[in-house]
Amino acid sequence: MTDMTLANARIVLPDEVIHGAIEIRDGHIAAIEPGAHVPPGAVDAAGDLIIPGLIELHTDNLERHIQPRPRVDWPHAAAILAHDGELASVGVTTVFDAMRVGSVPGGKGRYLKYARNLASELWELRAARALKINHYLHLRAEVCSETLVEEMAEFGPQDRVGIVSLMDHTPGQRQFRDVSKLKAYVQGKLNLTDPEFEEHVAQLHALRRAHGDRHEAAAVAEAARYGAVLASHDDTTDAHVATSAGHGIALAEFPTTLEAARACHAHGIKVMMGAPNLIRGGSHSGNVAAHELAAHDLLDILSSDYVPSALMSAAFLLADLWDDLPRAIATVTANPARAAGLDDRGRIATGLHADLVRVARIKGTPVIRGVWCHGRQVG
Per-residue pLDDT for 36 more than 70? yes
**Cβ density class 316-350: b for 16+ within 10 Å, e for less:** bbbbeebeebbbbbbbbbbbbbbbbebeebbbbee
Query: Residue 107: its pLDDT value, please?
Result: 65
pLDDT digits (tens, 9 = 90+) for 227-275: 999 999 999 999 999 999 999 999 999 999 999 999 999 999 999 999 9
pLDDT digits (tens, 9 = 90+) for 86-101: 999 999 999 999 999 9
Rounded Cα–Cα distance for residues 299 and 261 (Å): 8
Q: What residue type is assigned to position 247 of the chain?
A: H
258-266 vs 238-247: helix axis angle to the nearest 10?
30
Radius of gyration (C-alpha) of the chain in whole angstroms: 21
Q: What is each CA distance from 134 to 34, 189, 318, 329, in whole angstroms?
A: 29, 31, 25, 19
At 279, is the secondary structure helix, strand, or coil? helix
Query: Residue 119: its pLDDT value, please?
Result: 98
Average pLDDT, the chain: 92
Rounded Cα–Cα distance for residues 262 and 300 (Å): 12
Domain boundaries, the chain: 1-52+345-379, 54-342
| Residue 283: count of CB within 10 angstroms of its CB | 18
Q: How confident is the model at residue 175 (pLDDT cuts 50, 70, 90)?
A: low
Cα distance between the two ends of the chain: 14
Query: Residue 178: its pLDDT value, please?
Result: 60
pLDDT digits (tens, 9 = 90+) for 295-322: 999 999 999 999 999 999 999 999 999 9
Cα-based angle 216, 220, 225 (whole degrees, multiple of 5): 140
Spatial neighbors of 121 by CB under 8 A, at least 6 apart, are 76, 77, 80
| Residue 56: count of CB within 10 angstroms of its CB | 29
Query: How would CATH label the architecture of 1-52+345-379?
Result: Roll (2.30)
Q: How confident is the model at residue 136 (pLDDT cuts 50, 70, 90)?
A: very high
Q: What is each CA distance from 354 to 27, 39, 94, 98, 375, in whole angstroms?
A: 5, 19, 12, 25, 5
Is residue 285 within 8 A of residue 176, CB to CB? The reply is yes
Spatial neighbors of 75 by CB under 8 A, at least 6 apart, are none
Query: Residue 180: its pLDDT value, please?
Result: 64
Is residue 202 within 8 A of residue 268, CB to CB? The reply is no
Query: Residue 209: its pLDDT value, please?
Result: 74
Per-residue pLDDT for 38 more than 60? yes
Rounded Cα–Cα distance for residues 136 and 342 (Å): 11
Domain 54-342 has CATH 3.40.50.300: no
At 31, is the secondary structure helix, strand, or coil? strand
Per-residue pLDDT for 73 more than 80? yes
Enter the DSSP assignment of 355.
-
155 φ, ψ (degrees, to nearest 5): -105, 155
Q: How confident is the model at residue 183 (pLDDT cuts 50, 70, 90)?
A: low
Reading phi first (left if > 0) and then psi (alpha if -120 to 50, else beta), residue 26 is in left
